[in-house]
Structure 1
Amino acid sequence: MRETSSNPPSVMLVLHDVAPETWPDYRPFVEAVDALGNVPMTWLVVPDFHHRNALQQAPDFCRLLDERLAKGDELALHGFYHADDGPTPRTPRELFMRRVYTHEGEFYGLDQAQALHRLREGLQLFQAQGWPVAGFVAPAWLMSEGTRQALRQLPLRYTSTPQHLYRLPDFAAIDAPGLVWSARSAWRRGMSRMISDWQRKRLASAETLRLGLHPVDMRHRSSREYWMDTLRELMAQGREPVTKSVWLDRQLAS
């Protein structure tokens, strides 16, 4: 479903895979963004990234996230482990999606009960920290039908894929196109730049654009500078930086 509104053009800066382990990658970039002025960000927080970043054991990092909330940023739930540790893939499609496309599609193979248990654990952790949470984003944006059914049972307001936000619990789709890089190798970074430049031109009149950043982007000068330059240019063109929740609120009010 495509929805339109009279809201001003916007940009959403979204940090994926947020965890104690990835904060050193993000820190210089976040500090540079803060220097631009009021640029709220959406942080996709993983409760226990790769089974070695339990937030309960990282009080300093949790205080940092408290500070980001106080600045006007948003925290969203981003899986629980961000690692696909399920049974061996049984079909060629599963093998491709879970072992070739990504090894981190945590919610791709979960049934409803498994997904609901993991989602509730994540929400309980947010609640224990006193963090408001409106959104869930599946690692690699991959969700099983069981995950979709589990999300319908929870007090969350949205989930997302690369091109849409989905209002919960009915999964009503709202166009919210995004740019994302694959920065693991030089040729991937070169291809990502070409694709992102093409998408920016194609989406110049879109109501909003999402910039989906990953820790690996921060480890390479070309990708890191691309995101900073893109953010500056979009803001110079009159796009207002907003969090996902703020943008969704505007959609519902328009």
Structure 2
Amino acid sequence: MRNSDSTKPRRRLLASIHDVSPLFEAAVDRLFDRLQGHLGSARFAMLVVPDFWDQAPLSRAPGFRARLRGWADDGVEMFVHGWNHRDDQVHSGRWASFKARRMTAREGEFLGLDAAEARRRMREGRAIIEEAIGRPVAGFIAPAWLYGEGARRALAEENFALAEDHLRVWRPSDGAILSRGPVITWASRSRARRASSIGFAGLARTLLRPIPVVRLAVHPGDAGCPTLMASIDRTVAAFSAGREPARYRDLMGT
């Protein structure tokens, strides 16, 4: 017996702009315009860094704070995206060291923090962003999607509604997984990374078509690379056909 339309999983597209900071305002503007042009609304997320690499404190950028509030008023979900997005830890353990070296360029800020320091950064970042946008944040997403054990404990204790990593979206309060599937993202650091991310996006446009929820993430560095932007355009267009642009909170039925 076939499922009725009412019992089929909703087909959704979750798009997000990472590393939102006064340091990258022009690039964020370009990415915002590009996503809004494809999706027809501001139904996507922004991941805000309170002080990117200790070079751009949001607390001292009243103009950018006002823009964040305006975007939030228009429907953009705002996430806390670490504190400074920089990993200054010395990692012990082969797996943690591998992730710190190979999966990011010293940007896995929450990979090596203990729970107390992770809580402090989460709380202070949340306070700054919520003061700017005038409402609760949607959740917390670690820089480079990398969490150590301390960060995972702090997440649950800080009562963030949502979190995500490379492969899933979950509810930190009880660990409930709300969506599974790899996030599609692009890398601008080197020619090899650009080529591999474009290749993965091309495969994903076919291989991920059956899954109910597709996630796309773009970064300020993408905005300066025409080949990456062309790949982003193709990928957003491919997945927005037949899917509703959604917000993360839609995964919780709210």
Query: Do the structures match in fold with TM over 0.5?
Result: yes
Q: Distance in 2 between matches of 1:179 and 1:153?
A: 29
Q: Distance in 2 between matches of 1:90 and 1:206?
A: 36
Cα displacement (A) at 1:38: 1.8
What is the match of residue 53 of structure 1? 56
**What SS is found at the alignment partner of 1:233?**
helix
**What SS is found at the alignment partner of 2:22?**
coil
**What SS is found at the alignment partner of 2:91?**
coil
What is the match of residue 62 of structure 1? 65
1:176–1:210: 8 Å Cα contact kept in structure 2? Answer: no
Q: Distance in 1 between matches of 2:186 and 2:146?
A: 17
Q: Is 1:239 matched with 2:208?
A: no
2:201–2:235: 8 Å Cα contact kept in structure 1? Answer: no
Q: Distance in 1 between matches of 2:203 and 2:156?
A: 35
Q: Distance in 2 between matches of 1:213 and 1:52?
A: 21
Q: Distance in 2 between matches of 1:100 and 1:32?
A: 29
Change in Cα spacing, 1:229 to 1:128, as seen in structure 2 (3 Å) is same
Of all paired residues, the percent bearing the same amino acid is: 32
Match of 1:226 among 207, 228, 231: 231
What is the match of residue 10 of structure 2? 8
1:39–1:242: 8 Å Cα contact kept in structure 2? Answer: no
Q: Distance in 2 between matches of 1:220 and 1:143?
A: 29
2:49–2:82: 8 Å Cα contact kept in structure 1? Answer: yes
What is the match of residue 123 of structure 1? 126
> Unaligned stretches of 5+ in structure 1?
none
Cα displacement (A) at 1:214: 1.2
Q: Normalising by the residue count of structure 2, what TM-score does the alignment of the two structures yield? A: 0.89
2:113–2:151: 8 Å Cα contact kept in structure 1? Answer: yes
Match of 1:211 among 199, 208, 216: 216
Q: Distance in 1 between matches of 2:202 and 2:48?
A: 28
What do the CA deviations read for 1:38-95 (whole angstroms, capped 9, x no partner)? 2411000001110011101111111111111111110000001100123x33455444
RMSD: 1.8
Change in Cα spacing, 1:89 to 1:184, as seen in structure 2 (3 Å) is same
Q: Distance in 1 between matches of 2:92 and 2:165?
A: 25
What is the match of residue 83 of structure 1? 86
2:17–2:31: 8 Å Cα contact kept in structure 1? Answer: no
Aligned residues: 244
**What SS is found at the alignment partner of 2:209?**
coil
**Alignment-mate amino acid for residue 66 of structure 2:** R
What is the match of residue 158 of structure 2? 154
Change in Cα spacing, 1:171 to 1:66, as seen in structure 2 (3 Å) is same
What is the match of residue 108 of structure 1? 111
What is the match of residue 4 of structure 2? none
**Alignment-mate amino acid for residue 68 of structure 2:** L
Match of 1:181 among 178, 186, 206: 186
**Alignment-mate amino acid for residue 18 of structure 2:** H
Q: Is 1:200 matched with 2:202?
A: no
What is the match of residue 32 of structure 1? 34
2:201–2:231: 8 Å Cα contact kept in structure 1? Answer: no
Change in Cα spacing, 1:90 to 1:144, as seen in structure 2 (3 Å) is closer
Q: Normalising by the residue count of structure 1, what TM-score does the alignment of the two structures yield? A: 0.89
Q: Distance in 2 between matches of 1:118 and 1:134?
A: 16
- Greater Cα offset, 32-41 or 49-58: 32-41
